[in-house]
Amino acid sequence: MNRRFFIRRAGAAGSLLLLPAWTAAAERLAAGEPIALARKKRLADAALNAAVKRGATYADVRIGRYLSQSISTRETKVDGVTNDESRGAGVRVIADGAWGFMATDRLTEDSIARAAAEAVAIAKANARLQDEPVVLAPQAGVGETAWCTPIRINPFAVPLQEKVEHLLAANRAALGAGASFINTQLYQINEQKYFASTDGSYIDQDIHRLWPTFTVTATDPKTGRFDTRNALSSPMGRGYEYLGADPAGKRPGVTVRYFESYDLAEDAVLAAQQAREKLAAKRVVAGQYDLVLDPTHLGLTIHESVGHATELDRVLGYEANYAGTSFATLDKWKSKEFRYGSPIVNFFADRTEAGTLGAVGYDDEGVPAKRWPLVKNGILVDYQKTRDQAHIVGQRAGDGCSFAQSWNAVQFQRMPNVSLQPGAEPLTPADMIKGVERGIYIVGRGSYSIDQQRYNFQFGGQLFYEIKNGEIVGMLRDVAYQSNTQEFWNSCAAICDRRDYMHFGSFFDGKGQPSQVSAVSHGSATARFNKVNVLNTGRKI
Amino acid sequence: MSLLTESEARAILQKTLSFSKADECQVSLTGVRAGNLRFARNTVSTSGGSDTLSLAVTASLGRKSGAATINEFDDASLERAVHAAEELARLSPENPEFMPQVGPQTYLEPKAYFDATANLTQEDRVRWAAASIGHCKERKLTAAGYLSDSARFSALANSKGLFGYQRRTDLDFSITTRTDDGTGSGYAVADYNDASRLDAGGVTAIAARKALQSREARAIEPGKYTVILEPSAGVTLVNLMLGAMNARLTDEGRSFLSKPGGASRLGEKIVDERVNLWTDPLNAELPGNKWGQDGRAQRRTDWIQGGVVKNVGYTRFWAKKKGLDENAAPSPGFGRSIMGGTDTSLDDLVKSVKRGVLVTRLWYIRAVDPQTLLYTGLTRDGTFFVENGEIKFPVKNFRFNESPVIMLNNLEALGRPQRVENSLIPPMVLRDFTFSSLSDAV
């Protein structure tokens, strides 16, 4: 069953007095009930029994209730509020050595058993194309268990009126500080998902994610120029408390950076001022610079050049037709000496860090969450794997990297959090900048592009500050840097210590055909990269 | 179950409207039956299907609106959905950008529905995948491909007497073939409304030839080159430019069409005079939809004619605000774009180039600067050096930084348009295309 209630372009300037009525109605109409645990177990058993009866050698079922709410505003009005509730079940089986999958939105024992039977029939049809049977790494059943994101305030329990006013207040603040336009969004996700498999697992999880974000635009009618500055928030696996503007959760610096807590209105004001500053900023001179990259920026570089490159399904060619393959091939891993980065570079994969988008108790094939190294002292040591890939690299377990965006999509290998370990020596961003003779300090995510094997990339950012002889001397514009993954990470000369470690997030990471989105965090501290090629992206048309 | 006939759809819509007490009520009904099969490493990886039917109600009271969607169709559920939308509308604040619903429209009749596609089975998908994989295995190549098909209908009705019903089918096939040693890669893509036109083996043969030809690519210096962009390479940049031709953004001073002092480039020549871009729901090779998002009838619209910006897309609200007739203002839907060309084949275009680079596909294209429409991305799956009209050798892939506006000003020649990614785009010869660095990716 899918239900959606929404208000489109329904805002009104200054009509705050009207908000309580319509927001209350929207909430009441959107409110559904969780699926009872006993019912989920009954349905799961119906699916698993039907699959086995039809000849499946393995089966799992995911029964889900997925809630999402997005609030969108521009300037002084609400652009739209959308509440989605989607519930149903997806059954995945192995029969005749091949995978099959079928989903149903009818949560009855008959319907789910029928879906299981259809999944077996599809598997058997697919087996005709298959030379070798699927080899599934063993996973001991964990019995009946539960896990939930450790949040303090459930965003879905916060009155819509309060959330709308939170966004509109930020908009007012930005307009008052010189923004020409501001578009603000708040995305909230709650996955109530129940996994069961023929291994003997019955896992009930309640997972939360949210992302407050905006784009501020400053225009200059005289010159016809415009520029933007996006929010420096991160999407998080946290509750509404992330928006609490707790002073302890932010760090002062060249610009304010938000770690465990976000101040939307403060960031919107800064964005309005900085968008104006960008309009008047000096154009960068192309050439080689030492780059000092803030975690709000570096997270995306990690995501593209390390996160996707170490996905084993890409390495093996499963994504060749769309997202591509990877330069981090099996021979490089087997050599145990492929230098991915300089010796201070350590990347770890993780599904356990609190507050992150990738944190779960178990993945979508019943594997417990864990943390493991991908790059150790600069050397490639491992990949991200699902259960059916583990045997290819001589391992006997999945990594907990299986994910499907909803009950109606088949699960496949998705990125866990992939993070850069902070430096061992005490070092702050301010100290790091002091050591740079000719460089650029980059904050925030901007334009990004990387090739299909993850060698050549180009990244922009939100804020670019010129560093001369250890000092920030002003803002630059038209900046993008280009490099090659291995060259770039080997040019990593310093990483700030744990005090500067924070999480960047990607809320809508696309992969697969048909495309599915997932959400993932990347932790890092500010890092320095020597002699990177910077281009000037200014053009005239 | 999901593909209702016109009379079945009309009955549900009218029943739903009969429950409404709002000033205006609009109901839409959409059903989709879709299937897909994905393969890689010369074997199937995932496949699945879906069959969905959903109804959306929008109710308006004065300038206040609310909406609800459901996928249950008994009378009680329909009535509940109408009441939910009305209750939301009643309690909503007034919308300063409210527009009354459109009245009856005269819709064109694109022919986009084909039984051959609507009746596809899993066996058909497996057969196509087997043909593709078989072709590759014979040549020691590895295939990764994706086949997806859908049959859908949509119907629309409102309390002002509007009614519309349309059906369409779509089929998309794409294939990447790689040599076993990983030094060559080729790509081909095809999309149709009529599945009987798909020759999966033939499409695979193009990708296979490119994979074999692209082995042992040589590195040549990045810089400005004359390029021959195949339709599969040029399509995204052209569509990104069309998608950015938005009236409101232009008027607000935040578009590549905005000019100093608040003026716009509408009516100005911005690209070579041989560039013509339009949309046309009745194009037989690329049948469109009867209506766009707001229910207005889709008509042929010229966006760029003789290099001059003829139209920018208006929402109904923005057209009214600007004093335009909303029914005459072009709708902002830019899908299924058509770019005019010539009768020259791709091979003959290549023959006309003295020194240049033939590009099969551009990839990971992202905006760098919306002010100039500067984009970056990379070549992929078949990039070749051309000299004196002949393909001489494969070259390593490049990163580009280029604006479609600059690119279409540097036009040398156009070829015969080809349907690709739901657009009709000609191969293009363009001088001074900016390749900014080399990529080792194959």
pLDDT in tens, A297-327: 999 999 999 999 999 999 999 999 999 999 9
Contact A7 B406 (CB under 8 A): no
Range 41-100 of B in CB contact (< 8 A) with A: 41-50, 52, 54, 58, 64-72, 84, 87-88, 90-98
Distance between CA A1 and CA B2 in Å, rounded?
A: 15
pLDDT in tens, A468-520: 999 999 999 999 999 999 999 999 999 999 999 999 999 999 999 999 999 99
Out of B129, B142, B372, closest to residue A129 by CB: B129
Residue with tokens 């994610």: A209
Quote the tokens at residue B317.
């609200």
Contact A451 B380 (CB under 8 A): yes
B127 touches chain A (CB under 8 A): no
Contact A10 B64 (CB under 8 A): yes
Residue A537's pLDDT band, with cuts at 50, 70 and 90, is very high
Distance between CA A326 and CA A170 in Å, rounded?
A: 42
pLDDT in tens, B94-132: 888 999 999 999 999 999 999 999 999 988 999 999 999
- Every domain of chain B with CATH number 3.30.2290.10 lies at 6-212
Does residue A18 register a pLDDT over 50?
A: no
pLDDT in tens, A334-393: 999 999 999 999 999 999 999 999 999 999 999 999 999 999 999 999 999 999 999 999
Interface test with B, best of A303, A321, A483, A486 (most B CBs within 10 A): A321
Q: What is the mean pLDDT of residues B419-436?
A: 97
Distances (CA, A) of A420 to A341, A344, A436: 11, 10, 21
Per-residue pLDDT, A286: 98
B323 touches chain A (CB under 8 A): no
**Fold topology of B6-212:** PmbA/TldD fold (3.30.2290)
**DSSP strands (E only) in B182-289:** 185-192, 223-229, 277-279
State the helix-helix crossing angle for A37-53 and A109-126, rounded to 10 degrees: 40
Contact B65 A10 (CB under 8 A): yes
Distances (CA, A) of B245 to A50, A215, B82, B266: 54, 20, 36, 10
pLDDT in tens, A396-436: 999 999 999 999 999 999 999 999 999 999 999 999 999 99
Distance between CA B275 and CA B308 in Å, rounded?
A: 8
- Mean pLDDT estimate for chain A: 93
- Mean pLDDT estimate for chain B: 95
Contact residues, chain A, for B254 at CB < 8 Å:
180-181, 217, 219, 226
DSSP string covering A168-212, please? Answer: HHHHHHHHHTT-SEEEEEEEEEEEEEEEEETTTEEEEEEEEEEEE
Residue A31's pLDDT band, with cuts at 50, 70 and 90, is low
pLDDT in tens, B248-277: 999 999 999 999 988 999 999 999 999 999
Percent of chain A with pLDDT over 70: 94
The 3 state secondary structure assigned to B79-135 is: HHHHHHHHHHHHHCCCCCCCCCCCCCCCCCCCCCCCHHHHCCCHHHHHHHHHHHHHH
pLDDT in tens, B364-373: 999 999 999 9
Does residue A17 register a pLDDT over 50?
A: no
pLDDT in tens, A175-186: 999 999 999 999
> Minimal Cα–Cα distance from A509 to chain B, Å?
13
ipTM: 0.92
State how far Cα A159 lies from the chain centre: 26
Per-residue pLDDT, A129: 87
Contact residues, chain B, for A130 at CB < 8 Å:
43-44
Distance between CA A38 and CA A18 in Å, rounded?
A: 41
Quote the tokens at residue A404.
């499907």
The answer to whether residues A90 and A100 touch, using CB atoms and an 8 Å cutoff, is: no
**CATH class in words for A2-280:** alpha beta
Residue B48's pLDDT band, with cuts at 50, 70 and 90, is confident
Cβ-based burial of B138 (10 A; exposed 0-12, middle 13-18, buried ≥19): exposed
The answer to whether residues A481 and A458 touch, using CB atoms and an 8 Å cutoff, is: yes
Out of B70, B123, B368, closest to residue A447 by CB: B368
Neighbours of A310 (CB within 10 A): 26
Respond yes or no on whether the N-terminal peptide bond of residue B287 is cis (omega within 30° of 0): no
Per-residue pLDDT, A30: 54
- Every domain of chain A with CATH number 3.30.2290.10 lies at 2-280
